Every structure is written in C-alpha cells, then in structure tokens.
Amino acid sequence: MKYFLIILGAVILWGIYVFNRFISLHNRVKEAWADIEVQLKRRYDLIPNLVNTVKGYAAHESSVFENVTKARNMAMGASGPTVEHAQAENMLTGALKSIFALAEAYPDLKANQNFLALQNELSDTENKIQAARRFYNTNVRDLNISIESFPNNLIAGAFGFSKKEFFDLGDNDVAQDPVKVKF
C-alpha cells in the first residue's frame, strides 16, 4: 500500500509538471504571435506613406499601387496564426517588392530622402518580422513536440491541448517568386 501511494504521488506530480509545461509553452506561443502582430502593424502603418511617396513619381503605375493596397488590406483582414494569414502576408511582401522594383526606374525617387527613409524603415521591419516568425516557429515546434511525445500526449489529450500551425512560406508562395515589373 505504501508503494502504491508513492507511485500514485509520483504520477500526480508528473501530471502537474507536464500540465504546467503545456501552459508555459502555450503562453510562449501566444507571446511570440503578439510579437509578430506588433511588427506587422508597424509594416501596415509604413505602407501608405511609402505608396504616397512613390505615387508622386510614378502616378501612371496605378496597378502596382492597387496591388499593394489590396495585399495590405487582405493581410490586415487575416486573423491569427493561420496558413491563410501567412499567405496574405507573403502576397504583401511580393507586392512591396514590386514597389521597390518600380523605384529602380525612377532615379529621382531613389534619391528622395523620404523614400529612402521609408525604404530603410520597411527593410528594418521586414527583418524584425522574420526574426519574430523564427521565434514563433521555435515556440510552436517546442509545443508540438511536447504534445506529440509519449506519455505527454496523454495529458495533452486529456486537457485539450492541440498542435499549432507554423507561420512560414508555402511551397508555391508569391514571396518566393521573382518580381516582375513591366513598363
């Protein structure tokens, strides 16, 4: 009877430890997603300024501006760390590449201080988004491994913990395609 109580106590302590680990990992994933959202908001705020600066130099390139605006709106409308949100963000990245490619055709624009400052800010933001994605995906990986591992999966299933989706580029994504600009 004494050994049974010791084993039962050990199993209960193990269950508490695993449950608390899931809570910790789950909260780290939420924190990492919040970091991505902060950087995405910064990006969304910079894009209209960039578009307006470029419009003054290339007013006849309206389709590029419409594509950027449409991609921005789709990305802002997507919610949560889902595949659809990742695809919308990657479409926005591709649309932004077309603005920078367009700027190559306008030497005055490339020398404009506002454009250069916005381009640097956006480049910095893109780097921060990539770092935040890596941090998020690392936390998702750790949570998913813990959920799938035996015997942790018994606790995960009992308390409703589920795997999370990675936030990364798909195989046929717009962000991986080269920029095509026609004049």
Give the tens place of pLDDT for each residue, 71-98: 888 888 887 777 788 888 888 888 888 8
In a domain, 182, yes or no: no
In a domain, 52, yes or no: yes
Flag whether pLDDT at 123 surpasses 70: yes
User: Could you give the number of structural domains in the chain?
Assistant: 1
pLDDT at 180: 41
In a domain, 183, yes or no: no
In a domain, 155, yes or no: yes
pLDDT at 169: 58
In a domain, 11, yes or no: yes
pLDDT at 176: 45
In a domain, 124, yes or no: yes
Mean pLDDT for 4-13 is 94
In a domain, 39, yes or no: yes
How far is 136 from 168, CA to CA, in rounded Å?
10
Query: Which residue range is the domain that position 46 belongs to?
Result: 2-176
How far is 76 from 72, CA to CA, in rounded Å?
6
How far is 68 from 54, CA to CA, in rounded Å?
12
Tens digit of each residue's pLDDT (9 = 90 or more) over 23-78: 999 999 999 999 999 999 998 988 888 888 777 766 656 777 788 888 888 888 88
Closest residue by Cα to residue 61 from 102, 4, 5 = 102
Task: Indicate which CATH number applies to the domain containing 28.
Answer: 1.20.1440.20
In a domain, 135, yes or no: yes
Cβ neighbours for 81, distance < 8 A, ≥ 6 positions apart: 33, 36, 136, 140, 164, 165, 167
pLDDT at 178: 42
